[in-house]
């Protein structure tokens, strides 16, 4: 019997540098579009694309994953640090990601939200279903159950670290209002001396907030000239401000700027010599790294992933056994009917005999099949031996 087939590839900090991740993110484009392209090619998929990682998983062997990557990235080569996984290793890695165990800030809260949205997109656009969706749902459930083992301080997050870098600015501009942008705004308001927060978005009329000032993203150039600190967390796939225009804006400033760029690809490329304290996402992640208490989190997550795979394996074994039991019953019916057919006087009697014999055989199997489908997986080997069925065939 084969395990549930699943393969994945990781392009993640710190193994894959930000420049390589930026190139991949640009090639990938909008996740929903990428999922649709794979689905149309007959490859169900899950894609998680964040500022620190791109994770792609499909319910198929590694050879099929190569086909998926060719569709997504064309001839863009896999950068150094790329990791391919399959089977139980891929499942455990997915469980670890959503639980925050692979994040620079262990147990960060943003990854759970990002992962949950990615799972919904996989079902909506990527054709994910069945056991594949079960992997994603079980990973999310495990992340929630393991949260008690991890730090609960909301400042212990990538957004919290970004917010801390803006101190002691009295006003901070936040570009973007997706999951990370909202988390940054919340983290800024949670600082001991909270600043005035201005959030710049493409459609300000859709956002109502009494805690922050909402401005159109078209005013971002003004913020880069006047604000003491800027945190950028947009989902743009190109520079938010072209390099030459950014150089002019920064040159017109009277005071240095604190700039935290959390976008992937990066929103900005400050010119050399500019009066900017610039932090890109990898630098931010490096600053965020610290030894943190993990309790039993690693063990809990590993056990949950192993248990999930065991259920799949057990289900496939019992399914294999049930299939063989019915095959044996049908073979016995065919043998009996064939032996008695010569004694029948009317041709229609053979059909009646076959129907009666098959009904009786299946009725006998009803209870053991029901038992195996329920709590009898641990007894599958004994039942298989009794009926002469090889589960590993």
pLDDT tens readout for residues 105-118: 888 888 999 999 99
Query: Which residue segment(s) compose the domain that 135 sits in?
Result: 7-152
Domain with 63 in it: what CATH number? 3.30.460.30
Pair (95, 213) in one structural domain: no
- Last residue within a domain, chosen from 133, 152, 171: 152
Lowest mean pLDDT among 54-68, 140-154, 192-206: 140-154
Domain assignment of residue 59, yes or no: yes
**Span 38-42, mean pLDDT?**
97
- Last residue within a domain, chosen from 252, 287, 322: 287
Domain with 167 in it: what CATH number? 3.40.50.720
Pair (260, 319) in one structural domain: no
pLDDT tens readout for residues 241-291: 999 999 999 999 999 999 999 999 999 999 999 999 999 999 999 988 765
Domain assignment of residue 298, yes or no: no
Q: Which residues of 34-64 are buried (b: 16+ CB within 10 A; e: fewer)?
A: bbbbbbeeebbbbbbbbbbbbbbbbbbebee
pLDDT tens readout for residues 134-144: 999 999 999 98
More confident residue, 381 or 230: 230
Is the entire prediction scored with pTM above 0.95?
Answer: no
The pLDDT assigned to 393 comes to: 52
Measured at the alpha carbon of residue 19, what is the angle toward residues 43 and 166, in degrees to the nearest 5? 115
Q: What percent of the chain has pLDDT over 70?
A: 93
Say yes or no to pLDDT of 2 above 50: no
Average pLDDT, the chain: 88
Domain assignment of residue 80, yes or no: yes
- Start-end of H helices in 74-178: 87-98, 110-124, 130-146, 158-165
Say yes or no to pLDDT of 31 above 60: yes
Say yes or no to pLDDT of 313 above 80: no
- Last residue within a domain, chosen from 126, 152, 178: 152
Say yes or no to pLDDT of 1 above 50: no
Question: Do 261 and 241 form a contact (C-beta atoms < 8 A)?
Answer: no
Contacts of 312 (CB under 8 A, 6+ apart): 3, 4, 131
- How many domains would you assign to the chain? 3
The pLDDT assigned to 188 comes to: 96
Say yes or no to pLDDT of 374 above 90: no
The pLDDT assigned to 15 comes to: 96
Pair (126, 208) in one structural domain: no
Say yes or no to pLDDT of 49 above 80: yes
Confidence tier at 153 by pLDDT (50, 70, 90) = low
Question: Do 248 and 271 form a contact (C-beta atoms < 8 A)?
Answer: no
The pLDDT assigned to 19 comes to: 93
Task: Give the Cα separation of 246 and 388 in Å (integer).
Answer: 75
Say yes or no to pLDDT of 119 above 60: yes
Pair (66, 196) in one structural domain: no
pLDDT tens readout for residues 216-234: 999 999 999 999 999 999 9
**Span 79-106, mean pLDDT?**
94
């Amino acid at each position: 019997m084969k395990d549930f087939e699943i393969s994945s590839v990781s392009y993640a900090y710190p193994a894959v540098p930000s420049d390589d991740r930026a190139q991949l993110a640009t090639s990938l484009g909008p996740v929903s579009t990428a999922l649709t392209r794979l689905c149309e090619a007959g490859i169900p998929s899950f894609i998680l694309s964040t500022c620190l990682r791109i994770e792609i998983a499909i319910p198929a062997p590694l050879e099929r994953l190569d086909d998926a990557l060719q569709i997504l990235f064309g001839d863009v080569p896999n950068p150094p640090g790329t990791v391919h996984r399959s089977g139980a290793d891929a499942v455990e890695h997915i469980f670890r990601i959503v639980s925050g165990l692979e994040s620079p800030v262990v147990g960060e809260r943003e990854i759970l939200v990002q992962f949950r949205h990615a799972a919904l997109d996989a079902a909506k656009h990527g054709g994910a279903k069945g056991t594949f969706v079960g992997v994603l749902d079980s990973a999310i459930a495990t992340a929630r159950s393991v949260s008690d083992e991890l730090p609960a301080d909301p400042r212990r997050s990538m957004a919290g670290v970004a917010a801390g870098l803006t101190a002691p600015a009295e006003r901070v501009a936040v570009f973007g209002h997706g999951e990370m942008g909202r988390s940054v705004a919340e983290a800024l308001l949670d600082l001991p001396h909270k600043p005035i927060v201005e959030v710049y978005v493409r459609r300000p009329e859709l956002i109502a907030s009494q805690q922050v000032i909402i401005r159109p993203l078209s005013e971002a150039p003004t913020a880069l000239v006047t604000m003491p600190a800027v945190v950028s967390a947009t989902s743009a796939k190109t520079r938010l401000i072209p390099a030459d225009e950014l150089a002019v804006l920064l040159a017109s400033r009277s005071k240095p700027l604190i700039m935290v760029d959390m976008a992937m690809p990066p929103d900005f490329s400050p010119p050399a010599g500019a009066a900017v304290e610039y932090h890109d996402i990898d630098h931010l992640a490096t600053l965020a790294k610290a030894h943190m208490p993990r309790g039993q989190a690693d063990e809990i997550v590993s056990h949950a992933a192993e248990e999930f795979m065991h259920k799949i394996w057990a289900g496939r074994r019992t399914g294999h056994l049930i299939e063989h039991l019915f095959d044996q019953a049908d073979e016995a019916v065919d043998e009996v009917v064939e032996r008695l057919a010569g004694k029948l006087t009317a041709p229609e009697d053979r059909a009646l005999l076959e129907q009666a014999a098959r009904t009786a055989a299946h009725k006998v199997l009803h209870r053991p099949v029901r038992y195996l489908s329920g709590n009898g997986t641990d007894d599958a080997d004994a039942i298989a031996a009794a009926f002469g069925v090889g589960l590993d065939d």
